[in-house]
């Protein structure tokens, strides 16, 4: 159990509810008269638990304490009058308290002031300016508030505490009785629960989610929190509901389609609820972030398969459309992720296009129009649900493809313009992220080593053009050549060469973020084309399964990079063949097994083998990271997927 140490002068007047608030947040409460006693209590606390320092005179909302003392994403966090540290930051707090207890450091009453805030040698020095600060920052820390002194000193010790945005919430240590009365009045004037519910909702989300889901899903989140449900349980429930929806769509009946549409919306409500529950109760985790992101993709692509199965029951084959929708949506996501990573820490990251976007953001209605145009998950699922209920799977998938294609053109064109007009220098980290997203296997690696001198002499825009040329040649050949043509194998061999050349030098060019997306489009598109032209029974469903397995591997790479844990091990990437190796293998299989059911078997076996390979390693990694105490993460970007 985490420990909260009340340290400082006692609160005057009526009994404070502070100790009860801390216990309600899961802390065991102990007291320390001064910094030396606080250091002793810190040493006595269980080694693997969080520890908080709180001034007994603290006045504020319980949720303000919750934000500072229980958020698992940060090693240290603070609000005025309170600071908390996770086990990783406890040594830093111990040094801070030792400095406070040393001669010349402030005691519990603030009788003595330490020198200016800073580090002297290897020791921590506490500062004690004489004015109050409303932010809990380094400047203006009162000498008699030990938690604030500790938070300021942690900054210079290399463990800067996170200071949550409190908004209208109150967190303060009043200096006198009048200030205390005013603070209590301010606390009573704020509806804390309403603030907490509002903060559970993303500040930036899609139009449909903001106006049609979040107004009531936040109350579902609170209901779940009060019954002890976790975000991961809600995420799992959302997946199960979506899979039932896919099963209903697979029946091929009108009642089944209507039920599928209703259940898909219900699944989306739960999908919003899990994140809101995480924010409401601060139950963030590495495993939860991975489950949420992965299950979103699994739900949507399983639903596409359900539509295809339902159409087949009615005599309509729409597997090519379902696979095309999955290919397009995955490529859209790769563009999003690659662009974000390429510009994650770019310097001089400005452009006229970005400035225009910022100006448009100041006009309210344009914000919603632009968010709807990109067809985020809320709008997309609502459209799919309605079309499923009132039309046919074929119409649903065609409209989905057209809508996603237009959205992809809009977003990609805007990003290309931004990239061409901005003056930015991309870092080695960004280049490595793009290389990891490229998913180059041993064949491309070998070509890259051989062609590195040539690549160094090519113009700046060469990598995306080379990737586009090689991928376009392969996909076009697969689509236009007759079934069983060995020209596809020749095109795949050329693709291996161009794939290696495209990544032979660091991907730091203005448009190099397009390289991973071109590779995804080439690999997935080739699979779709070869299965479609083969006219082999069940080849398209087998290709759907293979693309799903490969897409999982690529999404897993994205989530590891975004979580700060790095890409999958190179051994896994090489074992999976890389995008160019898989494309070459499928081209050979399609040529050798043309007009033969062996193609379906081969694609199925390849899909199962690849799924087992990547799923086993992925699950092992994420579970180990969760159990090993990896930093909790949560996607607060607000960008709808």
Q: What is the pLDDT of residue 131?
A: 35
Structure tokens, 315: 């005599």
In the chain, which residues have pLDDT < 70?
A: 13-14, 104-140, 345-365, 631, 633-641
DSSP element (H, E) containing 51: strand 51-54
Query: Cα separation of 59 and 183, whole Å?
Result: 7
CB 527 within 8 A of CB 543: yes
Q: What is the pLDDT of residue 134?
A: 40
DSSP secondary structure string for all residues of 82-148 = EEEE-GGGHHHHHHHHHHHHSTTS--TT--S--SSSEEETTEEE----SS--SS--STT--TT-HHH
CB 401 within 8 A of CB 528: no
> Half-sphere exposure of residue 391, counting CA atoms within 13 Å on the CB side?
13
Cα 30-32-36 angle, rounded to 5 deg: 135
Identical fold, 200-317+350-423 and 428-641: yes
Q: What is the pLDDT of residue 595?
A: 82
Q: At what angle do helices 319-342 and 393-421 cross, to 10 degrees?
A: 20
Q: What distances in angstroms separate CA 109 from CA 84, 105, 145, one per listed residue? A: 21, 11, 8
Name the β-bridge partners of 28.
Answer: 3
Query: Cα separation of 389 and 355, whole Å?
Result: 42
Cα 153-155-159 angle, rounded to 5 deg: 110
Query: Cα separation of 80 and 412, whole Å?
Result: 44
Q: Where are the domains of the chain?
A: 3-194, 200-317+350-423, 428-641
Of 304, 367, 292, the C-alpha closest to 330 is 304
Q: What is the pLDDT of residue 437?
A: 96
User: What CATH code is assigned to 428-641?
Assistant: 1.20.120
Structure tokens, 199: 């903060």
CATH class for the region spanning 200-317+350-423? mainly alpha
Q: What is the pLDDT of residue 15?
A: 75
Query: Cα separation of 144 and 149, whole Å?
Result: 8
């Amino acid at each position: 159990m985490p420990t909260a140490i009340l340290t400082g002068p006692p609160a005057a007047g009526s009994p404070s509810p502070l100790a009860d608030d801390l216990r309600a947040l899961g802390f065991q409460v102990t007291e320390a008269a001064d910094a030396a006693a606080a250091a002793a209590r810190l040493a006595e606390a269980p080694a693997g638990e969080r520890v908080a320092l709180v001034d007994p005179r603290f006045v504020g909302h319980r949720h303000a304490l919750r934000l500072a003392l229980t958020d698992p994403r940060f090693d240290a966090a603070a609000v005025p009058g309170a600071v908390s540290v996770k086990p990783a930051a406890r040594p830093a707090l111990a040094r801070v308290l030792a400095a406070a207890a040393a001669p010349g450091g402030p005691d519990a009453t603030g009788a003595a002031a330490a020198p200016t805030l800073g580090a002297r040698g290897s020791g921590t020095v506490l500062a004690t300016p004489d004015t109050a600060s409303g932010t809990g920052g380094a400047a203006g820390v009162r000498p008699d508030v030990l938690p604030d002194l500790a938070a300021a000193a942690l900054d210079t010790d290399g463990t800067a505490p996170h200071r949550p945005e409190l908004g209208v919430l109150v967190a303060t240590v009043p200096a006198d009785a009048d200030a205390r009365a005013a603070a209590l009045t301010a606390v009573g004037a704020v509806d804390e629960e309403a603030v907490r519910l509002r903060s559970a909702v993303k500040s930036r989300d899609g139009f449909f989610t903001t106006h049609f889901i979040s107004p009531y899903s936040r109350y579902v989140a609170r209901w779940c929190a009060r019954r002890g449900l976790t975000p991961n349980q809600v995420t799992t429930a959302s997946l199960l509901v979506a899979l039932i929806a896919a099963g209903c769509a697979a029946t091929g009946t009108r009642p089944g389609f209507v039920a599928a549409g209703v259940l898909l919306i219900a699944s989306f409500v739960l999908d919003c609820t899990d994140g809101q529950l995480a924010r409401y109760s601060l139950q963030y985790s590495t495993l939860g972030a991975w489950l949420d992101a992965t299950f979103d993709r699994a739900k949507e692509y399983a639903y596409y398969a359900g539509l295809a199965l339902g159409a087949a029951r009615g005599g309509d084959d729409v597997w090519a459309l379902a696979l095309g929708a999955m290919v397009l949506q995955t490529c859209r996501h790769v563009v999003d992720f690659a662009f974000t990573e390429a510009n994650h820490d770019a310097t001089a990251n400005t452009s006229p296009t970005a400035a225009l976007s910022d100006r448009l953001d100041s006009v309210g209605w344009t914000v919603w129009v632009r968010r709807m145009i990109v067809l985020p998950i809320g709008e997309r699922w609502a459209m799919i649900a309605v079309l499923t209920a009132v039309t046919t799977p074929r119409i649903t998938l065609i409209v989905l493809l057209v809508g996603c294609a237009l959205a992809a053109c809009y977003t990609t064109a805007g990003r290309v313009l931004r990239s061409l007009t901005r003056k930015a220098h991309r870092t080695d980290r960004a280049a490595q992220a793009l290389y990891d997203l490229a998913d180059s296997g041993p064949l491309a690696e070998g070509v890259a080593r051989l062609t590195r001198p040539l690549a160094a002499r090519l113009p700046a825009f060469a990598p995306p053009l080379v990737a586009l040329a090689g991928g376009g040649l392969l996909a076009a050949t697969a689509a236009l050549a007759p079934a069983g043509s060995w020209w596809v194998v020749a095109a795949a061999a050329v693709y291996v060469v161009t794939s290696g050349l495209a990544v032979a030098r660091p991907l730091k060019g203005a448009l190099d973020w397009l390289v991973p997306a071109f590779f995804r489009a080439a690999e997935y598109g080739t699979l779709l084309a070869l299965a479609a032209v083969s006219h082999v029974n069940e080849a398209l469903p087998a290709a759907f399964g293979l693309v799903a397995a490969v897409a999982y591997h690529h999404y897993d790479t994205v989530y590891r990079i975004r979580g700060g844990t790095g890409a999958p091990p190179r051994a896994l990437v090489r074992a999976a063949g890389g995008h160019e190796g898989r494309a070459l293998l499928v081209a050979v299989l399609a040529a050798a097994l043309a007009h033969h059911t062996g193609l379906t078997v081969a694609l199925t076996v390849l899909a199962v083998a690849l799924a087992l390979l990547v799923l086993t390693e992925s699950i092992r990694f994420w579970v180990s990271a969760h159990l090993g105490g990896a930093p909790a993460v949560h996607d607060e970007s607000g960008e709808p997927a």
